[in-house]
Amino acid sequence: MTATTRTPSIWQDLRETSFSQGWMDAGGYRTRYLHAGDDSLPPLLLLHGIGGHCEAYARNLDRHGAYFDTWAIDLIGHGRSAKPDHPYEISHYVDHVLRIMDARGWNRIHISGESLGGWVASRLAADHPDRVDRVVLNTAGGSQADPVVMDRIRSLSMRAAENPEWDFIKARVEWLMADAKDATEDIVACRQSIYSQTGFAEAMKNAMVLQDMEVRKRNLMLAEDYGRIEAPTLVLWTSHDPTADVSEGRRISSMIPGSVFEVMQGCGHWPQWEDVDTFNRIHINFLRGLPLDAPLSAP
């Protein structure tokens, strides 16, 4: 290793960032967060995917914290947040987000979610339009029920949660990425630590209920649901998403009045991690109401 080579790590990702990690009481749910920015800025909530955790946004906190009061959180049943013992449907996650908003005193927020997080964000925007300013749906779930994808998510996730050996965790993280090299040792180790918590396998089982066809169908976002989203919305897809191809992202966008559709090339299910600079530019510009291809200007 040369003197200029850096081993990829979350600490390296955060080395230029003024940030905090902590827990808040969100209406009775102990909720873990990573935070950058301050309360003089517009609030932005970042939501991870199924089986995920707030480190999914570790590479984005620095730039976003310059423009927004930025909070990446662990949803209930995930990461190191509370894990109530019941199956988690979309309404439970939306309720958690509303509790966070009330705990922070936020009337309205920008909200961005990846996969499950995008599903939650779209449902929040459809059902509570008065609480949302702008929305980003990043390779979002909730628009379809593909049994092949659902079975793959369940099998990879439960194997990793029930037996959190390195190779099983690594396989779950690699599934997210277009290029396996982006499943760095550090992010695999981070997830292994989370999945090794006492009782985590049961929480994962509660989260996996959305991979049951009957449960999933009653939670899906329908055309009329997307049609009720009033907030300006960016549907962000990728060229190599493992859950659905670009046509599904385009279909989601077509159902949301006035939405913007954008595709990131060379990325899988974690574009915010895989191509940080492109994601930050597109994401921040959209949330600021600027052209997506504009250079990032000073806040």
pLDDT in tens, 233-270: 999 999 999 999 999 999 999 999 999 999 999 999 99
- How much is the average pLDDT of 49-69? 97
pLDDT at position 92, please? 98
Is 6's pLDDT higher than 80?
A: no
Q: What percent of the chain has pLDDT over 70?
A: 98
Is 2's pLDDT higher than 80?
A: no
Is 101's pLDDT higher than 80?
A: yes
Tell me which long-range contacts 28-31 makes (C-beta under 8 A, separation of at least 24).
28/99, 29/76, 29/81, 29/82, 29/84, 29/96, 29/99, 30/81, 30/82, 31/73, 31/74, 31/76, 31/81, 31/82, 31/96, 31/100
Residue matched to tokens 């049951």: 212
pLDDT in tens, 122-140: 999 999 999 999 999 999 9
CA distance 68 to 155: 37
Yes or no: say if 187 and 173 are a contact pair by the CB < 8 Å rule: yes
- How much is the average pLDDT of 60-76? 97
Is 42's pLDDT higher than 60?
A: yes
User: Which band of pLDDT confidence, cut at 50, 70 and 90, is reported for residue 5?
Assistant: low
Is 49's pLDDT higher than 70?
A: yes
pLDDT at position 3, please? 45
Is 271's pLDDT higher than 80?
A: yes
pLDDT at position 10, please? 87
